[in-house]
Amino acid sequence: MPLKMEENETMTPRERVEAALAIKEPDRVPFTPAFHCAQARLTGMTIEEFFFNIPKSFEATKKVWEMFGGFDIYSGCSPILGYYAPIPNSHSQIYFDWTLPKGNIPEQMHEREIMKREDYDLVIQNGFTPFKRRPELQREFGKMIVQFSKLDTVSWLKEMDVMTLSEAFIEPPVDMISFLRSFNKFLTDIIEIPEKVVKACEATEEELLRSLDLQFQAFRRKEATQMCLFGFSRIATNFISPKKFDLFWPHIKRITEYILKNDFIVQYHIDNDYTDVLEYFTEFPKGKIMFHLDLTDIFKAKEILGDRACLMGNVPPQITGRGSPKEVEDYCKKQIEGCMEGGGYMLGSACVLPDEIPPANLKAMKDCVMKYGFYRK
Amino acid sequence: MNKQLVNAMAELDRAKVLEIVEEEIDKGTDPSKIIDWLSEGVKIVGEYFEKKEYFLAELITSGDIFENAFQELKPILEKSNVNLQSKGKIVIGTVQGDVHDIGKNIVKSILTASGFSVNDLGVDVQPEKFVEAVKNSDTKILGLSALLTIAIDSVKDIIKLLERENLRKKVRIIIGGSAFSEEIANKLGVDAFGKDPQDAVRICQKFLK
């Protein structure tokens, strides 16, 4: 069923998001929450069931869309695939130690020093392959891909004219190294042996770009607006100085240019706070990059990047998960009013919506765009 | 005071810190004095952090260098039976349902380097374990950490249990981690929210005044 258009709406969700990405004013602010497993609780199942039962997770997702009159972007159903992905990334169990969901406790990483300081040379020589601890999981990944391909996602989204939040993803080499070293050891390395860390990043960049090629080949669609999630969390300026961030900028820049060359919009999914380094991103062309912000100040981002990059996020889980509907409304209203002018803005959660978001709070977010998010033409 | 040692620590020069510590050991300096000088250096690191001249990376490195130096001093401390003067005892842990320990470990490291004795209960700690640790020690501070917002309910359970055991007034509770905020701290009725490791140290020092 196509989504029912509300009064004053003149665009489909895809048209609305495409306008926002192009830094144009759509009919109203798009509402683009990124779900993790919130659909589970909203439909009365456990996170565990939602995570492992792919068809059921899709049914639950569709049900949530019906409950809330739809959203402007599709962020997926069960997030299980990433945990079996054979490409180097922090979520993959092939490289990292994760406990997958149990009941309503979500998946969690047991971060430890997998790579020792003396292993930098190994990474420089051989990339991330020596750290594949469970390569056999690649077979599971193949089976899951088959399960996902059996869902009627494509036709369902086509019918509603809704875009997918991201259709490829990559993390910069520095994040992969940071997770392998573990957070504290990595930050100590940045202070004590920065040249070695940078060298390892340079040596592994190509390996990560090749993982993107595979995804581009598999998911690229002709004449469609598509986004590639470029996610990083470990070089935030609440962790390291802007001067240290500068060490890793060349890799971020090269990966960004590679994604752009492949006709995907770069979606920076940047966890933690990058407010002090937003200026770096001003060199990219208008409408080709967008930001999904966590703790980065979205108002400051609007000032610095508002003329070229679409912004979303920064609504904290403490508000959406634990606040009252009134608190949610107040927070979102302030953000909408401060960011909507001129387009290039979508209302979304910081990182993902908390799994325990009460239905009334999700409704409050949606009501907020309907109440305050229309552009007057 | 060995100013060279204090400065080496403040400048995060691990090799120099270890070299001076070794020299002081050879000279037969009281190990507790050496630890005080190291802590003085860590204090300067904290001041730089507050002025935004240093970041979390520098703060963590200072804790790591302190730990490194402390390991050098440990055999002498054990041999000489020196009782280190603790600034106060703290029970700390990641609450039930959450296994993330990065934030907790950073706070533990900085608190230790600042002279506190920290009893770390680990991760995914049941409320009963926290209460037992409070009951069986003279700790005046309970530090609770979490990354997942679902773990907020575990904090509620800990408070309830402390109240039931008449222990709530015995301890000041400080919470920290991505799951929390100042507002959540107020709602939960805990005594403080530590926004970063340095903030946690400052709050704990204030609690013990």
Highest mean pLDDT among A196-200, B107-111, B181-185: A196-200
Give B 11-70 residues with CB within 8 A of chain A: 12, 14, 54-58, 60-61, 64
Radius of gyration of the CA atoms of chain B, in A: 18
Using one digit for the tens of pLDDT, what is the confidence trace for A241-280? 999 999 999 999 999 999 999 999 999 999 999 999 999 9
- Check residue B86 and give its pLDDT: 82
Phi, psi dihedrals of residue A293, rounded to the nearest 5°:
-95, 150
Local structure of A323: helix, strand or coil: coil
Structure tokens at A214: 């595979």
| Residues from chain A contacting residue B149 (CB–CB below 8 Å) | 317-318, 321-322, 354, 356
pLDDT band at A154 (very low <50, low <70, confident <90, very high): very high
CB atoms inside a 10 Å sphere around CB A19:
19
| Residues from chain A contacting residue B195 (CB–CB below 8 Å) | none
Pair type for strands A108-109 and A98-99? antiparallel
Residue A2 has pLDDT above 70, yes or no: no
From CA A278, how far away is CA A274, in angstroms rounded?
6
Cβ <8 Å between A184 and B64: yes
| Residues from chain A contacting residue B148 (CB–CB below 8 Å) | 106, 108
Higher-confidence position of B84 and A5: A5
Residue A189 has pLDDT above 70, yes or no: yes
Beta carbons within 8 Å of A15's beta carbon, 6+ residues apart: A26, A161
CATH class of the B3-80 domain in this structure:
mainly alpha
| Residues from chain A contacting residue B184 (CB–CB below 8 Å) | 318, 322
Structure tokens at B104: 């907790």
Residue B170 has pLDDT above 90, yes or no: yes
CATH number at residue A52: 3.20.20.210
From CA A118, how far away is CA B128, in angstroms rounded?
41
Cβ <8 Å between A192 and B181: no
Residue A44 has pLDDT above 90, yes or no: yes
Cβ <8 Å between B148 and A316: no
Is residue A356 less than 8 Å (CB to CB) from chain B?
yes
Using one digit for the tens of pLDDT, what is the confidence trace for A279-293? 999 999 999 999 999
Residue B76 has pLDDT above 90, yes or no: no
Distance of CA A251 to the CA centre of its chain: 19
How close are the terminal C-alpha atoms of chain B, in Å?
25
Looking at every residue in chain B, the average pLDDT score rounds to 93
| Residues from chain A contacting residue B150 (CB–CB below 8 Å) | 104-106, 354-356
Which segments of chain B belong to CATH 3.40.50.280? Answer: 89-207
CB atoms inside a 10 Å sphere around CB A243:
9
From CA A362, how far away is CA A323, in angstroms rounded?
11
Our CA-based measurement puts residue A145 at a distance from the nearest CA of chain B, in whole angstroms, of: 29
Is residue A194 less than 8 Å (CB to CB) from chain B?
no
Local structure of A360: helix, strand or coil: helix
Which of A98, A184, A324, A327 should we substitute to test contact with B (largest number of B Cβ atoms within 10 Å)? A184
Query: Domain total for chain A?
Result: 1
Structure tokens at B17: 């810190």
- Check residue A361 and give its pLDDT: 98
Which segments of chain B belong to CATH 1.10.1240.10? Answer: 3-80
CA distances from residue A218 to A82, A167, A288, B152 in whole angstroms, order as listed: 16, 9, 21, 41
Beta carbons within 8 Å of A95's beta carbon, 6+ residues apart: A88, A89, A114, A128, A131, A132, A133, A176, A179, A180
Residue of B nearest to A105 (CA): B97
From CA A191, how far away is CA A194, in angstroms rounded?
6
Q: Which of B55, B105, B150 lies closest to A241 in CB terms?
A: B55
Beta carbons within 8 Å of A377's beta carbon, 6+ residues apart: A25
Q: What interhelical angle do B197-207 and B56-80 show, nearest 10?
A: 50
* Residue A2 covered by a domain: no
- Check residue A223 and give its pLDDT: 86
Contact yes or no for A62/A152 (Cβ under 8 A): no
Structure tokens at A373: 């998010």
* Residue A4 covered by a domain: no
Structure tokens at B201: 């140290």
Cβ <8 Å between B56 and A240: yes
- Check residue A4 and give its pLDDT: 73
**Average pLDDT value for residue range B82-107:** 88
From CA A98, how far away is CA A90, in angstroms rounded?
10
Give A 174-193 residues with CB within 8 A of chain B: 182-184, 187-188, 190-192
- Check residue A7 and give its pLDDT: 81
CB atoms inside a 10 Å sphere around CB B205:
15
Burial track A141-178 (b if 16+ CB lie within 10 A, e otherwise): beebeeebeebebeebbeebebbbbbbbbbbbbbbbbb
Is residue A11 less than 8 Å (CB to CB) from chain B?
no
Is residue A324 less than 8 Å (CB to CB) from chain B?
no
From CA B54, how far away is CA A273, in angstroms rounded?
16
Our CA-based measurement puts residue A2 at a distance from the nearest CA of chain B, in whole angstroms, of: 34
Contact yes or no for A266/A288 (Cβ under 8 A): yes
Cβ <8 Å between A238 and B150: no
Our CA-based measurement puts residue A53 at a distance from the nearest CA of chain B, in whole angstroms, of: 22
Is residue B100 less than 8 Å (CB to CB) from chain A?
yes
**Could you tell me which CATH number the domain at B89-207 has?**
3.40.50.280
Q: Which of B61, B102, B180 lies closest to A191 in CB terms?
A: B61
A-B CB pairs within 8 A amount to: 74
Q: What is the ipTM of this complex?
A: 0.93
| Residues from chain A contacting residue B156 (CB–CB below 8 Å) | none
- Which alpha helices (DSSP H) does chain B contain, by range? 3-10, 14-27, 31-50, 56-80, 102-113, 127-135, 152-164, 182-188, 197-207
Our CA-based measurement puts residue A325 at a distance from the nearest CA of chain B, in whole angstroms, of: 15
Q: Which of B100, B105, B106 lies closest to A108 in CB terms?
A: B100
CA distances from residue A276 to A236, A243, B196 in whole angstroms, order as listed: 9, 10, 18
- Check residue B78 and give its pLDDT: 78
Contact yes or no for A345/A307 (Cβ under 8 A): no
Local structure of B85: helix, strand or coil: coil
* Residue A70 covered by a domain: yes
Residue A1 has pLDDT above 60, yes or no: no
Q: Which of B99, B179, B181 lies closest to A99 in CB terms?
A: B99
CA distances from residue A311 to A204, A256, A314, A338, A340 in whole angstroms, order as listed: 29, 17, 9, 12, 10
Contact yes or no for A15/A21 (Cβ under 8 A): no
Residue range of the domain that includes A103: 13-372
